[in-house]
Amino acid sequence: MMQRRHLLAVAAAALPARAALGQGTSGAARVLRFVPQADLAGLDPLVTTATVTRHHGFAVWDTLYGLNQDYAAEPQMASGHAIDQDGRRITIRLRQGLRFHDGEPVRAEDCVASIRRWAARDPMGQVLMARTEEISAPDDRSIVFRLRRPFPRLFDALAKVTPPVCFIMPARLAATPPTEAVAEIVGSGPFRFLPAERQAGRPAVYERFARYSPREEGTPSWTAGPKRAHLDRVEWHVLPDVGTTADALLAGEVEWWENPSADRHAALRASRSLVLEVLDPTGYVGMARFNHLHPPFDRPAIRRALLGAVDQAEFMRAVVGADRSLLRDGVGVFAPGTPLANDEGVAALAGARDLDRVKREIAEAGYGGEKVVLLAATDFPTLAALAETGAGMLRRVGFEVEIVGDAWAAIVRRRASREPPAAGGWNMFFTIWSGLDLLNPGVHQALRGTGERAWFGWPTMPRMEDLRGEWFDAPDDAAQQRVARAIQAEALREAPFLPLGQHFQATAYRRGITGVLKGLPLFWNVQRA
Amino acid sequence: MFAYVVRRVLATIPVMAIVALFVFSLLYIAPGDPAAVIAGDQATPEDVERIRASLGLDRPYLVRFGAWVFDIARGDLGVSIFTNLPVSTMIRQRIEPTLSLMVVTLILAVSVAVPMGVVAAWKVGTWIDKFVMGFAVLGFSVPVFVVGYLLAYTFALELDWLPVQGYTAFSQGLWPWLENLILPAIALGTVYIALIARITRATMLEVLQQDYIRTARAKGAGQRSILFLHALKNAAVPIVTVIGIGIALLIGGAVVTESVFAIPGLGRLTVDAILRRDYPVIQGVVLLFSFVYVLVNLVIDLLYTLFDPRIRY
């Protein structure tokens, strides 16, 4: 049926013909207009850990190994591997026919250079390199790791989807220092980024890379399996306003909105032309991070006592509303539903909250009435909601609380300060992690206990670091699970942070879109009717 | 006259210098860290420090200010911290949508508001006058984003007459360009219409009491001739002044309107840059806006001589 707007255009036939609907050339059947969660400010996935740049990275670059829905690594650009010398020599073979977007073949030396650049930034990569005596490319299709001792997590590291991801780029670009953005975007994946169309404020555009060679076997699953691109063009439209984005999706001006806010779910669900579903089963996990350098949270007993005050359901309701299907409580330090999630010590976070007991424990631990400075990012509703709920919780158990509300860009500056709270520092801030960021001890930044080199909050937890090392050496799933339980017990004893529960983020797309994969917003396998 | 124009143009230099110093200092003391925003939430403090150093953000105030002023003097507004694109390129890429929005809004507002004000003054005390004044109060009271949402809901989502959002370049055709601007221009123009209509009415009421209007009536001049030829021309100076002052209103309103209607203009560029603490972009855009404002004021001053020959420079 012709839209009334088109009739208007016909009525204006005396005027020059209008271009395709909406913005630019987006009307064709094999074009997908996607609204990402944020503007794609950085194009180099190693310079920034921004999630949106990771999504861009998966469209443009391929990885040696992919992660499937069981959180297991599968060969992706690799055809397979051989493990020799009791696990101290790993040889990865590349598939044939792989090409970069500049037409050059993908060679092993490109992979070696890419691994080196990635490892300089990535926590798991740093462990890998510390154990690697040499990494070499004896021929165009072989990558050889000579390890000082076996590293069972090598394939997990190469397949990880948490930023930074080990994307494969040409060696000439991988030679760029990891703190500097690469000069060109030359990918190895199923979609080619079009830099000529990159203009400030205009959509980021990707087109199908015709010479991409997908795996022939397997089933598409997360970032593993055949990556068959069915779309000719994918446009990322950044719409800054959620109301406008909802209207644009309902009106068919865009086809896929990555992160519709919870307050729009009802309106979107009511439309028969839209599908609303959760892609990432690991969801998002809220966290209250302590500053370990200053009173009162320099005392483990106070941090530990607060575990008894946390009502995870209350925190998550503040984020997503009353819809129980979108939240989960009783959450430990690993994302529920993932292989290392366990119930060790979780009882401390569940059940009825005894605030009088918490007050007593805090007093016994020596709380001296110091003011607690909470950082709240006011331009992120989710983080603001967590901070408000957290302030209420702290006040209920007797803390004197000051909320410092500011824009995210200012909060990240202040949270880097190690000064006392009264001199521009802080005591606690709130953040949300993707469940994938809490998949295992290798990627879990908030579990690091390396003091001044640790993530903001700077806990010193030598036992935790030892356990992390044990996890890297764990030979099988059972051993990993054992270590994960010990890590969770230690985390709840040291309490470097408070887990605040898990919530799930729905994505919304028009019914004509099929083949949307679970996990991340990925554009291969997706088709338009 | 020519000497006056030259003097005024030269006077923009110290104004711009003060604006530059003010903007740079304000951003320097404002909380925020582009390095941390670039690095992302999972970056370690070491990563953030490395990026800060690579961007030169760890250099002292005077060194950074000196380098910036030196670049500005050479016509170089710098490079965006986030996109690595020259700020001048980003402004060039974004200026068309903002200019389009402002021009359409200006035409719409002046062509609606001036007749409204004239008619209200002519029919003072009647229901027409009350309607115009009521609209003016409403126009002042309702925020631009509320008007925007209501228009988008009604005319885009429910009636499907116009697109919800976006911008199409003028080069792609007049109608595609215009259809994306109609709703934003109405939303942005509402407060502007209210302002101009009120001033026009007030000024016209004063002028219509003048002796020469009575003389014109006595000579048998028609109502239209009296209103638009004799009265409006004499009322033009304050009206033109308000239109000029309103340009600042439009610049401020464009920031909100461009966000509501997803128009990729300078307003959104400014908001995005502020949220990310992209200092070179903020500095460049604010300098541009202040230059435009100074220029508009100059043009308004020169227009006075057209409407009132007694004014000389």
Statement to judge: residues B104 and B236 lie in one domain: yes
Q: CA A308 → CA A130, A263, A312, A498, distances in Å?
A: 39, 30, 11, 10
Residue B277 has what pLDDT?
Answer: 84
- Whether B78 is covered by a domain: the verdict is no
Statement to judge: residues B147 and B240 lie in one domain: yes
> CB A244 to CB B261 under 8 A?
yes
Classified by CATH at the fold level, domain A65-174 comes out as: Dipeptide-binding Protein; domain 1 (3.90.76)
* pLDDT band, residue B75 (cuts 50/70/90): confident
Between strands A513-514 and A274-278, the pairing is unpaired
* pLDDT band, residue A280 (cuts 50/70/90): very high
pLDDT, one tens digit per residue, over B255-286 is 899 999 999 999 999 988 888 888 889 989 98
- Give the one of A247, A454, A455 whose C-beta lies nearest to B164's C-beta: A247
> CB B31 to CB A414 under 8 A?
yes
pLDDT, one tens digit per residue, over A139-152 is 999 999 999 999 99
Ranges in chain A annotated CATH 3.10.105.10: 284-503
> CB A16 to CB B175 under 8 A?
yes
The yes-or-no verdict on residue A20 having pLDDT over 70 is: no
Statement to judge: residues B122 and B251 lie in one domain: yes
- Whether B312 is covered by a domain: the verdict is no
The yes-or-no verdict on residue A327 having pLDDT over 90 is: yes
Contacts of B50 in chain A (CB under 8 A): 179
Structural domain including B35 reads 2-73
Statement to judge: residues B69 and B178 lie in one domain: no
Element (DSSP H or E) covering residue B260? helix B232-260
- Scanning B76-95 for CB atoms below 8 A from A yields 82-85, 89-90, 93-94
One-letter amino acid for residue A121 of the chain: R
The region of weakest confidence among A80-94, A198-212, A247-261, A473-487 is A198-212
The yes-or-no verdict on residue A6 having pLDDT over 60 is: no
Nearest chain B alpha carbon to A246? B164
Statement to judge: residues B39 and B117 lie in one domain: no
SS3 A151: coil
Residue A7 has what pLDDT?
Answer: 45
* pLDDT band, residue A23 (cuts 50/70/90): very low
Classified by CATH at the fold level, domain A2-38+190-258+508-528 comes out as: D-Maltodextrin-Binding Protein; domain 2 (3.40.190)
* pLDDT band, residue A16 (cuts 50/70/90): very low
Ranges in chain A annotated CATH 3.40.190.10: 2-38+190-258+508-528
The yes-or-no verdict on residue A18 having pLDDT over 60 is: no
> CB B45 to CB A456 under 8 A?
yes
Mean pLDDT of chain A: 92
Statement to judge: residues B187 and B280 lie in one domain: yes
Average pLDDT over every residue of A519-523: 95
Question: Whole-angstrom Cα distance, residue A190 to residue A106?
Answer: 14
SS3 A234: strand
Number of domains in chain B: 2
Residue A113 has what pLDDT?
Answer: 98
Residue A273 dihedral angles phi and psi, to the nearest 5°: -90, 0
Q: What is the pTM of this model?
A: 0.85
Domain boundary among B20, B39, B73: B73
Contacts of A34 in chain B (CB under 8 A): none
Statement to judge: residues B293 and B255 lie in one domain: yes
List, in sequence order, every residue forming a beta bridge with A93; answer none if it has no partner: A80, A142
CATH of the domain at B282: 1.10.3720.10
Average pLDDT over every residue of A111-126: 96
Between strands A400-406 and A428-434, the pairing is unpaired
The yes-or-no verdict on residue B25 having pLDDT over 80 is: yes
CATH 3.10.580.10, domain A284-503, yes or no: no
Whether ipTM tops 0.90, in short, is no
Statement to judge: residues B146 and B26 lie in one domain: no
Average pLDDT over every residue of B121-148: 93
- The percent of residues above 90 in pLDDT, for chain B, comes to 44
| Residue B55 touches partner A, C-beta closer than 8 Å | no
Average pLDDT over every residue of A264-272: 92
Residue A2 has what pLDDT?
Answer: 43
Question: Whole-angstrom Cα distance, residue A351 to residue A353?
Answer: 6
Statement to judge: residues B245 and B280 lie in one domain: yes
- Whether B172 is covered by a domain: the verdict is yes
Q: By the 8 A CB rule, do B278 and B33 touch? A: no
Residue B290 has what pLDDT?
Answer: 86
The whole-angstrom distance between A175's CA and the closest CA on chain B is 16
Q: B101: which 2 tokens? A: 């929005």
